Amino acid sequence: NEYQIAVIVGSLRQDSFNRKLAHAMVKLLPPGFSFKQIQIDDLPLYNQDDDSNPTEPVKRLKAEIGAAHGLLFVTPEYNRSIPGVLKNAIDHASRPYGQSAWSGKPAGVLGVSVGAIGTAMAQQHLRNILAYLDIPTLGQPEAFIQMKEGLFDANGDIGTDSRKFLQNWMDRYITWVEKHVSGA
Ligand code: FNR
């Protein structure tokens, strides 16, 4: 009985710290859960005129979100908000009106930044969007992560200083997903 978590990374950058974080979090998953990395870099800019005739990447995005049991957003902060590429993906899968792929999918929000506030402002903007889309989002623990030496170890796994914190975050997140998937 495998639960699939759709992972949406808000950076397209080759060496993205947020993508590294998303990959490192895989190792903290319990048995029975897997990550599906969602591709967003080939989505066109959202245009409402295309709602009735979506391109293949848009159809793929909606199918993948629709098939997921849970959502994990891992995003940088751009100018105190979320990157446009992430908003674009969110908008795509929310349409056509009444056919959103997001509704009811339990979500978690993570982000790593070079700045000291660790994407806190971006996460708050994202939570506002997720609330509107009827995505129940884990409130606590919050995770505002600053990119520092040792965050990742030589293998790309979460370093020892942050592992306990992020394992606890993951355990709470998984409990959140299970609660919503079982419909309790
Ligand atoms: C940033 N960065 C940034 N950092 C932050 O803490 N708050 C911010 O508002 C911004 N704004 C911002 C805007 C733009 C356009 C860029 C390119 C960058 C810095 C950001 O944290 C850094 O580039 C991260 O490395 C981005 O995440 P990835 O791509 O490494 O995942």
pLDDT in tens, 14-50: 999 999 999 999 999 999 999 999 999 999 999 999 9
Output the furthest CA–CA distance in the chain (Å, rounded): 49
pLDDT for the residue numbered 33: 98
Residue 133's closest CA among 109, 96, 104, 97? Answer: 104
The CA 9 to ligand 1 mean position distance, Å, reads 13
Show me where the domains of the chain are located: 3-181
Q: Which atom of ligand 1 is nearest to the CA of 18?
A: 31
Two structure tokens written together for 60: 């793929």
Cα angle: 47, vertex 49, 53; to 5 degrees = 100
> What confidence category does residue 164 fall into, taking pLDDT thresholds of 50, 70 and 90?
very high
Domain 3-181 has CATH 3.40.30.10: no
Q: State the complex-level ipTM.
A: 0.99
What is the β-pairing status of strands 107-113 and 70-74? Answer: parallel
- The answer, yes or no, to whether residue 149 has pLDDT greater than 70, is yes
Place of tokens 């030589």: 154
Query: How far does residue 115's CA lie from ligand 1's centre (Å)?
Result: 8
Q: Whose CA is nearest to atom 15 of ligand 1?
A: 78
Q: What is the pLDDT of residue 183?
A: 58
What spacing in Å lies between the alpha carbon of 73 and ligand 1's midpoint? 16
Residue closest by Cα to atom 27 of ligand 1: 76
Evaluate the omega torsion of the peptide bond into residue 141 and state whether it is cis, within 30 degrees of 0: yes
Show the 3-state SS of the chain: CCEEEEEEECCCCCCCHHHHHHHHHHHHCCCCEEEEECCCCCCCCCCHHHCCCCCHHHHHHHHHHHHCCEEEEECCCECCECCHHHHHHHHHHCCCCCCCCCCCCCEEEEEEECCCCCCHHHHHHHHHHHHHCCCCECCCCCCEEECCCCCECCCCCECHHHHHHHHHHHHHHHHHHHHHHCCC
